[in-house]
Amino acid sequence: MSLAVSSLADLAARVGLSPTSVHLTTAMTHSSFAAEHGVTSNERLEFLGDAVVDLAIADLIVRDHPELDEGGGSLVRSKVVNEASLADAARVLALGAVVRVGKGVHKENGRERPSLLADAFEALVAAIYLERGYEPARDFVQQALGEGVVRALKEPGDVDPKTRLRQWSESRGRGTPRYEVTADGPSHDVTFEARVFLGDEHWAVGHGRSKKAAEAAAARRAWERRDA
């Protein structure tokens, strides 16, 4: 059975919320729409949902994979809980068709931006958590992202860029990489720039639609020049 939804009422039925739920409506309200209409955006819910998603996946890893130590569990979680995988989960639900966006974002087909979709997914999780409690929110997250955990376990050598750079830097006595992130642009169309430093030396710059994506891009560039 398809998980995709085509309306707010359809989404409400899919996640067990009322179609008149204020939290659900807010979860599907991008900052660009909120700015144009004077309503509340999903940014605070995204903040809460980020924590719930992290906990739900950690819960799954600890419960179903006792063979993983803290480092292994953290690595698997980082490969599952990131902008790309959350955006994919949002696409499966077709959240892009439901989330409310401003005229500029709509005109630019911004509904399909990975950062927008990932934020909408996290905000949706927060809405479920606030109205139904942790267990339904946990079950929703684990259903949406559980296959990603399985895939991550099959690729033990595929380390995320920040972890890979940190391991290399620390093994060379350079310490833990430090990231400085700045944002540019209006709230509905922000671009982030991350600068990564190893010790006092600036190594690389990365850009992305989210802080996480920019830092990952910077880490990849720094990794690529490690032997230069």
The closest alpha carbon to 27, from 37, 6, 41, belongs to 41
46, 119, 122, 160: which is the annotated catalytic residue?
A: 122
CA distance 180 to 132: 38
How many residues are given for the chain?
Answer: 228
46, 50, 119, 215: which is the annotated catalytic residue?
A: 50
Answer yes or no: 108 catalytic: no
List strands edge to edge, sheet with 191-198: 178-184, 191-198, 201-208
Answer yes or no: 88 catalytic: no
Burial class (CB in 10 A: 0-12, 13-18, 19+), 34: buried
Which residues are the active-site residues?
50, 122
